């Protein structure tokens, strides 16, 4: 009996373990993981403590998009749009959404205050970048969502001072019925340096995917890059910045496609021993017979 008591983990430990599983859920699957975690814990109080901490972190990390109750638009849940723990700004519509992180729904919206929005000078650049970027995202990402936030210098009223915008692009494809979920998340920090007349761009792209038919395969790829352009009028600057983002994202996607086309000769071989315990050689010359290779090839359009 004493040994059993010593091995019993505390509620605090259970909460930390539950949080770990929730935060490491693949794209679009936290609700499924939460259901299983809740059943395993068998304690609603412990589960609610873990969920209340994990869901906001997960939602922001995965840049999830929630639709307004009146269907007038979407709000991206990010650290850049966060007003407080449950309120998030959508700068395009100048509205603030109140969200339920655990249910992953937007409950209500209110108009943003003047203090929550950038000055008219910064807004001219922000709005121009978002308008141009929306065209690109609409062409490149089915069901993709983008938003542009002012993260520094939002009170700048005229040329002569620095300010910073952050571009967030989020695209998800959830198809659990086909045993496949995935997401594309990219964040671009755009620094307007007036003294140098330069706009510096720093990008971070993260791609996540989970394939769970006939196995359990996950992808978690990250990529960072830098670029720059000169400060121009708002519309011209928006075009230049969008072209930079398009170039780097297309280049990275092309590199991912190239790596997938080499799966049979590289990655797959690393996953299996050359001569398994069955003493039967794995058919490396014909990996196209396996569903994983077929589906990846089909999704990326390789070999067409």
On whether both 240 and 185 belong to a single domain, the answer is: yes
**C-alpha dihedral sign at 126, 189, 140, 67:** negative
Would the pTM of this model clear 0.75, i.e. be above it? yes
Q: How do 180-193 and 163-175 pair as beta strands?
A: antiparallel
Q: Which of 19, 35, 61 is the last residue of a domain?
A: 61
Considering the domain architecture, whether residues 147 and 249 belong to the same structural domain is answered as yes
Specify the pLDDT at position 260: 74
Is residue 243 located within the same domain as residue 268? Answer: no
| Length of the chain in terms of residues written | 304
Domain check: are 51 and 90 in the same one?
A: no
**pLDDT for the residue numbered 212:** 85
Mean pLDDT calculated for residue range 196-216: 91
Mark whether 142 and 246 lie in a shared domain: yes
Mean pLDDT in residue range 87-93: 95
**Contact status, residue 143 vs residue 172, Cβ threshold 8 Å:** yes
Query: For the residues 108-125, what does the mean pLDDT come to?
Result: 95
Co-location of 154 and 247 in the same domain: yes
Indicate whether 253 and 123 sit together in one domain. yes
Strands (DSSP E) contained in 236-280 are none
Inform me whether the pLDDT recorded for 36 exceeds 90.
yes
DSSP H helices, 70-207, are 120-140
Domain boundary among the residues 111, 146, 178 is at: 111
Q: Which helix (H) or strand (E) holds 174?
A: strand 163-175
Domain end: 83, 111, 139, which one?
A: 111
**∠ CA 146-151-157 to the nearest 5 degrees?**
110
**CA atoms of 25 and 27, how far apart (whole Å):** 7
- Cα–Cα distance, 10 to 141 (Å, whole number): 45
pLDDT at 47: 96
Whether 44 and 131 map to the same domain: the answer is: no
Q: Which residues pair with 202 in a beta bridge?
A: 189, 226
Identify whether the C-beta of residue 63 lies closer than 8 Å to the C-beta of residue 57. no
Residues 154 and 232 both lie in one domain: yes
Q: Give the domain extent around 9.
A: 2-61
Q: What is the pLDDT at residue 7? A: 67
Whether 26 contacts 179, CB under 8 Å = no
Question: What CA–CA distance (Å, rounded) separates 96 from 111?
Answer: 6
The per-residue pLDDT for 176 is 86
Residue 251 shares a structural domain with residue 216: yes
35 and 140 share a domain? no
Going from the C-alpha of 39 to that of each of 25, 32, 59, 103, 104, the distances in angstroms are 16, 11, 22, 17, 20
CA neighbours within 13 Å on the CB side: how many for 244?
Answer: 23
Same domain, 103 and 222: no
d(CA 253, CA 243): 15
Count of the separate structural domains present in the chain: 4
- The domain that contains 87 carries what CATH number? 3.30.1140.60
Q: pLDDT tens digits for 233-283?
A: 999 999 999 999 999 999 999 998 887 776 666 666 665 555 555 656 656
């Amino acid at each position: 009996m004493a040994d059993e008591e010593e091995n019993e983990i505390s509620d605090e430990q259970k909460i930390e373990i539950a949080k770990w599983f929730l935060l490491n859920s693949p794209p679009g699957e936290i609700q499924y993981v939460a259901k299983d975690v809740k059943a395993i814990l068998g304690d609603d109080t412990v589960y609610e403590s873990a969920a209340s901490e994990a869901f906001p972190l997960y939602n922001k990390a995965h840049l999830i998009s929630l639709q307004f109750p009146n269907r007038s638009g979407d709000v991206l849940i990010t650290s850049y749009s966060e007003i407080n723990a449950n309120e998030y700004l959508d700068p395009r519509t100048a509205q603030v959404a109140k969200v339920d992180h655990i249910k992953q729904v937007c409950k209500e919206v209110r108009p943003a205050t003047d203090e929550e929005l950038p000055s008219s000078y910064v807004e001219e650049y922000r709005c121009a970048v978002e308008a141009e970027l929306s065209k690109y995202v609409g062409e490149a990402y089915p069901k993709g969502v983008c938003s542009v936030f002012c993260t520094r210098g939002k009170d700048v009223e005229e040329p002569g001072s620095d300010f910073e915008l952050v571009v967030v692009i989020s695209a998800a494809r959830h198809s659990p019925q086909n045993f496949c979920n995935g997401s594309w998340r990219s964040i671009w920090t755009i620094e307007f340096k007036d003294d140098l007349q330069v706009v510096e761009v720093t990008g971070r792209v993260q791609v996540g995917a989970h394939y769970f038919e006939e196995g359990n395969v996950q992808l978690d790829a990250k990529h960072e890059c830098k670029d720059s352009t000169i400060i121009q009028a708002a519309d011209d600057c928006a075009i230049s910045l969008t072209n930079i983002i398009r170039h780097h994202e297309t280049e990275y996607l092309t590199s991912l496609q190239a790596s997938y086309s080499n799966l049979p000769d590289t990655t797959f071989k690393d996953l299996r021993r050359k001569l398994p315990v069955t003493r039967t050689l794995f058919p490396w010359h014909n990996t196209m017979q396996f569903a994983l290779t077929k589906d990846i090839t089909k999704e990326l359009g390789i070999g067409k």
